[in-house]
Amino acid sequence: MNGYSDQGDPGLSETISMAERALESGDIADAKMRLLPVLAEEPQNIAALNDLAVAEIVVKNWASASSLISRVLSVDGKDSVALNNLQVLNNSLRRREVSPVQETLAPPEHFRAHMPSAPQTYFMDEYLRWERNTPRRKHSCGVFSSVSLRKIEGLLPEGAKSSAETGCGKSTILFSNISESHKVFALDDRASGADSSVNYFLDCPLTKLDRIETIYGPTQETLPNYKNHPSYDFVMIDGPHAYPFPELEYYYFYPHIISGGILVLDDVNIPTIGRLADFIAEDDMFELVSIVSTTAIFRRTGSPVFDPRGDGWWEQKYNRRRVSKNRDIYLSDTPANDEVSSKKLDHICYP
């Protein structure tokens, strides 16, 4: 979750891991109970501070979340998890007409003075309550943690008209609630019964089925044949993971994402998907907004759409920064840094 759970005292690391599991299951009280003693022993433990900030955001304790994020950024002003928490906190406050936090962070008193009387909740807050009171369900594909989806929801645009995803499950429930029209490109696994990803979102009472269009079949076949793409406010790529299938999905979606829209790329801990994330992070069309666990989130810039039927490899920054320095096209503005894959996320997830 935070990229730091393997640091320091092994006992503290295990306590933090247990707290993160509690967060993912929605047990905020248990997570806080485990994290507070860690901070009593190590007040500057980055992992514990970040996780406790997540817990405070979930329960809408803005002042405490602000203070915790500030403590992390005072140690490492570029900590990606803290900056992501700051983004989520700011989005939460904007939705509630509260002054957003600047990167320098206002003192906690600022938030107490502006606390709204009846704050609006995210959809994932409602989902977490439903999940806690529902017998444990599973489905056949990898499952997003609810905490990660809560963070992603905080980064998505409000008032989305149209969205799409490859793969389905818990994310489909979320997207059907925040987008007026959501397209799902996924395998039809309903015959799998209780293990079915499709049945998982179909059977959830929170899913807004009237907003969903399902396009069943392998995306290697359905996306090339699909002709009714609208302009998307956000897209999530989480279909088949083997190379080159995520690239194929990216190819069929990127021309349709609006300026300011969001592209979500899941499982960037897989080396080939991490490389795709590195490419997108350096492309003029996108900027990397955040990495939530193993999910990269990009925002579409105002740059022109790269011609999907042309070539122009020599115009792409990923290539220009990596060719011979003796070539005319070599770009020396910043070094090639492989912004996503360099984080070694798979090594963090599976130490």
Last residue of a domain, one of 113, 137, 171: 113
Neighbours of 297 (CB within 10 A): 23
Give the pLDDT score at 105: 42
231 in a domain, yes or no? yes
Which residue reads 């960037």 in tokens?
268
207 and 267 inside one domain:
yes
How big is the chain, counted in residues? 351
151 in a domain, yes or no? yes
87 and 205 inside one domain:
no
Of 338, 265, 334, which is closest to residue 299 (Cα–Cα)? 265
Which residue reads 């994290």 in tokens?
35
End-to-end CA distance of the chain: 13
92 and 226 inside one domain:
no
Give the pLDDT score at 271: 96
78 in a domain, yes or no? yes
Which residues constitute the domain of residue 247?
124-349
Cα–Cα dist 201/15, whole Å: 33
Last residue of a domain, one of 113, 147, 162: 113
* DSSP structure class, residue 3: S
Last residue of a domain, one of 64, 89, 113: 113
332 and 251 inside one domain:
yes
Task: Please report, for residues 243, 262, 322, the alpha-carbon distance to residue 316 in angstroms, rounded to integers and kept in the order given.
Answer: 20, 20, 10
281 and 260 inside one domain:
yes
344 and 220 inside one domain:
yes
188 and 270 inside one domain:
yes
197 and 235 inside one domain:
yes
158 and 220 inside one domain:
yes
Give the pLDDT score at 306: 96
Of 142, 121, 131, 151, which is closest to residue 60 (Cα–Cα)? 121
262 and 130 inside one domain:
yes
Give the pLDDT score at 94: 67
Domain count, the chain: 2
How many helices (H) and strands (E) the chain has is answered by: 15, 7
163 in a domain, yes or no? yes
Degrees, nearest 5: CA angle 123-90-288: 90
What tokens does 166 get? 């490859």
133 and 271 inside one domain:
yes
CATH code for position 160:
3.40.50.150
- Tell me the mean pLDDT per 10 residues along the chain, length 351: 41 81 78 82 86 85 84 83 83 60 41 38 84 68 72 84 96 95 96 89 94 97 96 96 97 96 95 97 94 91 95 96 95 88 85 71
4 in a domain, yes or no? no
Give the pLDDT score at 87: 82
What tokens does 76 get? 């490492």
| Model confidence, pTM | 0.68
| Cβ neighbourhood burial of 328 (10 Å; 0-12, 13-18, 19+) | exposed
100 and 130 inside one domain:
no
